[in-house]
């Protein structure tokens, strides 16, 4: 598996990150989210040190993640992959049922 180097900016600071080419879009989305959370933490508090801003942003993101995980466990939300798998299974079953309806009676 090959990796590539990308350069990103978080709170005006440059970082060089390695990632697989197929993971680049997801990594860039994560970088954007971290940058946004860090800027929000810096702007909404008196904290100015980058390390402290990073901790506040990490706590905010971790809190959000825990809420999502809790809602999934309680059946309030479903993981996307589970929905896709279920939809695929339902489509297969519908295709089979439709195929049986379309088959002429003499061929059954």
**Listed residue (82, 92, 40, 87) closest to 61, CA to CA:** 40
Residue 66 has pLDDT above 70, yes or no: yes
- Whole-prediction pTM: 0.65
Alpha-helical (H) ranges within 7-108 are 24-43, 50-73, 80-102
Which pLDDT score, from 0 to 100, does residue 29 have? 94
Determine the pLDDT at residue 14. 95
Q: Give Cα separations from 85 to 10, 42, 50 (angstroms).
A: 36, 41, 42
pLDDT at 30 over 70: yes
Give the CA distances from residue 100 to residues 59, 91, 106, 108, in Å, rounded to whole numbers and listed in that order: 55, 14, 12, 8
Q: What is the mean pLDDT of residues 37-46?
A: 91
> Is the alpha carbon torsion for 34, 55, 68, 91 positive or negative?
positive
Cα–chain-centroid distance for residue 38? 19
Which of 25-29, 69-73, 74-78, 91-95 is the least confident region?
A: 74-78
Q: Region 41-47: what's the mean pLDDT?
A: 88
Distance between CA atoms of 74 and 103, rounded to whole angstroms? 43
pLDDT of res. 21: 93
């Amino acid at each position: 598996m090959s990796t590539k180097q990308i350069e990103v900016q978080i709170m005006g600071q440059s970082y060089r990150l390695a990632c697989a080419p197929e993971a680049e879009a997801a990594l860039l989305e994560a970088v954007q989210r971290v940058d946004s959370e860090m800027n929000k933490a810096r702007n909404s508090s008196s904290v100015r040190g980058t390390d402290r801003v990073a901790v506040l942003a990490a706590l905010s993101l971790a809190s959000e993640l825990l809420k999502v995980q809790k809602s999934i466990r309680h059946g309030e939300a479903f993981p996307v992959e589970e929905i896709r798998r279920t939809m695929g299974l339902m489509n297969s079953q519908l295709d089979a049922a439709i195929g049986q309806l379309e088959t002429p009676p003499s061929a059954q």
